[in-house]
Amino acid sequence: MELKTSRFHKILRIVPKGTLDSHSSPDLIRFLKSRWEEGDRLFLMICDSIQYLEEEGIWSLSELHSFLQKNGGNIAFVGWNEECKLVLGLFGLSTSLPIFSTERDAEEWLSSLKIEDLRSKHNASEDSIASLRQTKPLQFYSAPSESNFEKNDESVHIPEIRTIPVADAGKTSVIEDSPTRNRDSISKKDEFGSELKLEQSLEKLKGSASDKILYCESCHSRLRIRLSGRYKCPACGIEFDVNRLGGVRYLERLVVSPEASGPAGNLVQSSHS
């Protein structure tokens, strides 16, 4: 395809000659975009020397029109033969593209347009986005962690409680776990021998275990524990189990009449995690 150009004021007149197909349409697109880069914004394509259009050529015309509208500029067409008009109409471009019957009408329409370089606006928006990215990043604040609570509460004394042994039959054996406990009397009881050995071995590991602060669900007392096992709240006497993952299971006594429950009473388990 041959291209001839001339100028009418600010309008660049383009006269293509040949067939607008898959081979020539890329050259036409590159040529028009290169002239746009050089500063031309208004184009008039005189198409009376185009013999016929192929599908790739039709889409190249639509691409040129979209490019100019997006970046600042416009193009008008004039001089299509009847066959090309029919093909453009089949693809819906006879109404979407600015096609005129005479060159004068096309030149008057192009001269009346007020063209802005939209590319500069795009660059300005990109610069503003880049400046926002260079600003100080957002700072997110979260609630203080459990370790911070422990640091703030160093002046407040929180009692540390120790595990109590569990009987083989599944019932709870209540043992006073105070520093003044008489260990000689406990050592005489064979049924608690294994629990004492286990407790002694766990006591050796307490130094490496981290403290955990929990609240008693019965009296809301704050208790400090280190290891998993069964505990008894020193304030209200309720017993609860703590597993390795920190889950708490409480053992609550049912309030029933002595005739129905007997001297031993009943136990119901409720889990809290």
How high is the pLDDT of residue 259?
A: 43
Decide which of 223 and 13 is more confident.
Answer: 13
For the beta carbon of residue 41, count every other beta carbon within 10 angstroms.
Answer: 20
pLDDT exceeds 70 at position 262:
no
Contact 159, 150 (CB under 8 A): no
Decide which of 101 and 155 is more confident.
Answer: 101
Q: How confident is the model at residue 239 (pLDDT cuts 50, 70, 90)?
A: confident
Decide which of 212 and 273 is more confident.
Answer: 212
pLDDT exceeds 90 at position 36:
yes
Buried b (16+ CB within 10 A) or exposed e, 5-34: eeeeeebbbbbbeebbeeebbeebeeebee
Out of 37-46, 150-159, 223-232, 239-248, least confident range: 150-159
Q: How confident is the model at residue 270 (pLDDT cuts 50, 70, 90)?
A: very low
**% of the chain exceeding 90 in pLDDT:** 21
Contact 26, 1 (CB under 8 A): no
Q: How confident is the model at residue 199 (pLDDT cuts 50, 70, 90)?
A: low
How high is the pLDDT of residue 35?
A: 92
- What is the per-residue pLDDT across 108-143, written as a single tens digit (0 to 9) for each? 999 998 877 655 554 555 555 555 455 444 444 444
Look at strands 42-46 and 11-20 and give their pairing. Answer: parallel
Out of 56-70, 118-132, 138-152, least confident range: 138-152
pLDDT exceeds 90 at position 263:
no
Distance, CA of 163 to CA of 157 (rounded, Å): 19
Please compute the mean of the pLDDT values over residues 229-243 and round it to a whole number. 85
Q: Which amino acid, 57? A: G
For the beta carbon of residue 203, count every other beta carbon within 10 angstroms.
Answer: 13
How high is the pLDDT of residue 244?
A: 75
Instruction: Report the chain's mean pLDDT, rounded to a whole number.
Output: 72
Nearby residues of 168 by Cβ (< 8 Å), 6 or more positions away: 191
How does DSSP assign the chain, residue by residue? Answer: -EEEEEEETTEEEEEEEEEESTTTHHHHHHHHHHHHHHT--EEEEE-TTEEEE-HHHHHHHHHHHHHHHHHS-EEEEE---HHHHHHHHHTTHHHHS-EESSHHHHHHHHHT-----HHHHHHHHHHHHHHHHHSPPP-------HHHHHHHTTTS---B-----B-TTS-B------TT--HHHHHT-GGGHHHHHHHHHHHHTTTTSPPEEEE-TTT--EEEE-SSEEEE-TTT--EEEE-TTS-EEEEEE----HHHHTTT--EEEEEE-
Please compute the mean of the pLDDT values over residues 75-93 and round it to a whole number. 90
Which domains are seen in the chain, by residue range? 2-118 (3.30.750.24), 146-179+189-272 (no CATH)
Decide which of 134 and 264 is more confident.
Answer: 134
Q: How confident is the model at residue 168 (pLDDT cuts 50, 70, 90)?
A: very low
Q: How confident is the model at residue 34 (pLDDT cuts 50, 70, 90)?
A: very high
